[in-house]
Amino acid sequence: MVQSVPADEAAENEPVAEAELSNAVSRLTEEDTQAPERRRLLGRIMRVELRERGVKDLFRPKKAINWITDAVTRVAPHVQVRDLETLRAHHGGLEGDQLAERLIRNASRVTAGIGAAGGGVAAVEWAVTPTLMSAPVLLAAETVAVVAVEMKLIGELHAVYGQPVQGTGTQRAVALIQAWAQRRGVNPMRVGGSVAAAMGTALRKELRDRILRRFGRNLSSLGPLLTGAAIGGFLNRRATLALGADIRKDLKASADPRVIEG
């Protein structure tokens, strides 16, 4: 079972763009998605975002970060988090630390694959015309996708350590954004409101600052095609492993020991 936006919270006639975005994010964050499909999905996410909000701001560094921040808040409600029973079934009955280690490892492989895709022009060939296949577009696509994968990882680590993220779809999205930006487990006392409202608080600045650091670090992935792909994959993998370790440490400090032991 996965957690996403409950059906009774969705609009009766969901816009095509939202449905397309939801489907692309869900598939992109799955562990078994192959490289060609990952490139196509990455391009689809960018196509939706570019169609909805344009591309001109991507060529101005400060506005590009705001653009990516907005895109992440749009993507967050579509991140599907598996519950503990599903995770155990998908990973041969693993529990506790062993299951957490497997999830972190797999997520790092997914983000490495996204980095490799983002390092080449092919990653956005579905999204924009050749004249717009530039560094800002590539990095925006990669950053949004990687954050989605890492938010899913955070949600699933919470399930592993007996602290599943609760609330409505919107509340869970806000909680995952908080946890990603702060590199800590979810504080249930701070979950509430809408994504848009939460992004109007200090949380938006935290998210923006974290994205800025990730965006800047990955500038080096935009070298020559093959070199850029390799560097992008390495940087993403390392960052995801570090994030997973931070979240896991925080969760273990507050988890019921019986949950960790399985």
In a domain, 254, yes or no: yes
Contact indicator for 149, 161 with CB cutoff of 8 Å: no
Instruction: Determine what percent of the chain is predicted with pLDDT higher than 90.
Output: 33
For residue 82, what is the DSSP state? E
Average pLDDT over residues 157-166: 96
* Residue 197, pLDDT above cutoff 80: no
Segment 214-218 long-range contacts (CB within 8 Å, at least 24 positions apart): 214/143, 214/146, 214/147, 214/239, 215/64, 215/65, 215/68, 215/139, 215/143, 218/115, 218/118, 218/139, 218/142, 218/143
In a domain, 203, yes or no: yes
Going by pLDDT thresholds of 50, 70 and 90, the confidence category of residue 7 is very low
In a domain, 52, yes or no: yes
In a domain, 132, yes or no: yes
Closest by Cα among 68, 60, 36 to 142: 68
In a domain, 150, yes or no: yes
In a domain, 6, yes or no: no
* Residue 124, pLDDT above cutoff 50: no
Confidence at residue 67, expressed as pLDDT on a 0 to 100 scale: 81
In a domain, 7, yes or no: no
* Residue 46, pLDDT above cutoff 60: yes
Instruction: Determine what percent of the chain is predicted with pLDDT higher than 70.
Output: 68
Domain around 20: 15-261
Confidence at residue 98, expressed as pLDDT on a 0 to 100 scale: 97
Q: How many domains does the chain have?
A: 1
User: CA 217, CA 229: separation in Å to the nearest integer?
Assistant: 14
Fill in the amino acid letter for 48: V
Confidence at residue 122, expressed as pLDDT on a 0 to 100 scale: 42
122's CB contacts (< 8 A; 6+ apart) are 39
Centre a 10 Å sphere on the Cβ of residue 130 and count the other Cβ atoms it contains: 9
Higher pLDDT: 170 or 105? It is 105
In a domain, 159, yes or no: yes
Average pLDDT over residues 134-146: 75
Confidence (pTM): 0.82
Poorest-pLDDT segment among 65-79, 88-102, 135-149: 135-149
